């Protein structure tokens, strides 16, 4: 397996693009994206657990109930959520896109992201679709990634090449996610494409299994979004024998999918609103996987710990505090804690108690852009990783005037 270029266009038969159609006032910002497969693809998705769901999610769920889709259209700048005509607008987006591509509306995945509770005008979308379709390109992943961004500061894309049954396959993805990011699926938009041949049942199994250890382990601010989902389209154009059951081929597909999703998780967490640092909490020595996940999530979600990381303050007591209220059944008198970055590693707590350490060295380590929080529970062999970011003044500024 190797990392390659191309994002959602890396796999055979996929084209994409993004344009500014007028939803957003800033004409330099793309606000409408399209991803298209040459052929009808196997499709699956996972959705936010928020009871308030954007109209596009409801429409998409109905469209891919048969396990098939051929295109994804997504706008930014308006979430099309909590609108009386939301379903109607989402369906109209699908119809307009389908007409322009000469495919069925039911084969369109539709998504929206942006401000909640403001009506979405279909006119700029209708006007922008002809240009969108005209600009479709095998090199269009970057443009598509830009078109789904809201408060994101960088585009997020990744692709890998792997082998299944002697055939070279590719899988790639783009994502948006900066704020309103919290575990329990999915709190971001992620679009993944692959030319591997895989049944809908196994594709859904792969995605549903993967998100438990990837997207559900990301938190920026503790808010679970209303609109977000992860979708995968697999068009089978790599020519491998269709994956229809567990085995070596399925395992290889899972490894490739996980490489893509973990990379996107790190990008999303590192680009949290106002963030200056990517935080990666690694828990080892847990008695079971649930305990490991619970501890990792609790620590990465701690506002006090996130603030300490912003200030490069090795306040390890906040790590233990977050573990203590996590609800996990752990022996707090066994816990070891260390901080690690490119500048080295420093142990700050052994068996639940503080030890002497160099504050200067700790600060040097915590001033780096990527910080690892290492926790050893010393109670078993299970482990888990969660991703987040620091909490900064800029986060409050961004969300204080997000709508206006």
| Residue located via tokens 């009506």 | 119
Q: Assess contact for 319 and 350: CB atoms under 8 A.
A: no
Q: 288-308 as b/e, with b when 16 or more CB fall inside 10 Å?
A: ebebbbbbbbbbbbbeebbeb
The whole-angstrom separation of Cα 141 and Cα 150 is 17
**Nearest-10 crossing angle of helices 289-301, 303-310:** 60
Distance set, CA 295 to CA 65, 263, 325 (Å):
35, 22, 9
* 3 state SS of 162: strand
Q: Assess contact for 110 and 86: CB atoms under 8 A.
A: no
Is residue 231 annotated as a catalytic residue, yes or no?
A: no
The whole-angstrom separation of Cα 284 and Cα 340 is 15
Cα dihedral 234→3→270→223 (10° resolution)? 10
Considering Cα of 176, then 181, then 183, then 184, what sign does the dihedral take?
Answer: negative
The whole-angstrom separation of Cα 41 and Cα 237 is 9
The whole-angstrom separation of Cα 360 and Cα 196 is 51
Catalytic hit among 113, 187, 224, 226: 187
Q: Which residues are catalytic?
A: 187
């Amino acid at each position: 397996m190797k990392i390659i270029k191309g994002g959602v266009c890396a796999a055979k038969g996929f084209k994409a693009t993004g344009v500014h159609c007028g939803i957003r006032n800033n004409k330099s910002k793309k606000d409408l994206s399209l991803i298209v497969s040459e052929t009808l693809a196997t499709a699956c998705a996972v959705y936010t657990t928020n009871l308030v769901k954007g109209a596009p999610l409801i429409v998409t769920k109905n469209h891919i109930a048969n396990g098939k889709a051929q295109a994804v259209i997504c706008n930014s700048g308006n979430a099309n959520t909590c609108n009386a005509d939301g379903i109607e607008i989402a369906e109209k987006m699908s119809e307009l896109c389908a007409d322009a591509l000469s495919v069925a509306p039911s084969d369109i995945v539709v998504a929206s992201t942006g401000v909640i509770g403001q009506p979405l005008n279909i006119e700029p979308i209708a006007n922008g679709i002809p240009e969108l379709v005209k600009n479709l390109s095998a090199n269009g992943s970057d443009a598509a990634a830009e078109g789904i961004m809201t408060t994101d500061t960088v585009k997020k894309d990744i692709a890998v090449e792997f082998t299944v049954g002697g055939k070279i396959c590719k899988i790639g993805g783009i994502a948006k996610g900066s704020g309103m990011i919290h575990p329990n699926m999915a709190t971001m938009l992620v679009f993944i494409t692959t030319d591997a041949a895989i049944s809908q049942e196994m594709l859904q199994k792969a995605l549903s299994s993967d998100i438990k250890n990837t997207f559900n382990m990301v938190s920026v601010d503790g808010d679970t979004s209303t609109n977000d989902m992860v979708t995968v389209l697999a068009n089978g154009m790599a020519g491998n024998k269709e994956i229809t059951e567990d085995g070596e081929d399925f395992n290889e597909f899972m490894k490739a999918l996980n490489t893509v999703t973990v990379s996107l998780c790190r990008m999303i967490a590192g680009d949290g609103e106002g963030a200056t640092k990517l935080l990666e909490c690694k828990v080892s020595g847990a008695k079971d996987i649930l305990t490991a996940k619970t501890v990792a999530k609790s620590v990465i979600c701690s506002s006090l710990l996130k603030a300490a990381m912003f200030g490069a303050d090795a306040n390890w007591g906040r790590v233990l505090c977050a573990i203590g209220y996590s609800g996990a059944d752990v022996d707090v008198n066994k816990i070891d804690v260390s901080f690690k970055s490119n500048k080295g590693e420093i142990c700050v707590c052994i068996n639940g108690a503080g030890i002497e350490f160099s504050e200067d060295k700790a600060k040097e380590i915590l001033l780096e852009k990527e910080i690892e929080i290492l926790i050893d529970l010393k109670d078993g062999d299970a482990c888990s990783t969660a991703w987040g970011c620091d909490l900064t003044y800029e986060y409050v500024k961004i969300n204080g005037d997000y709508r206006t």
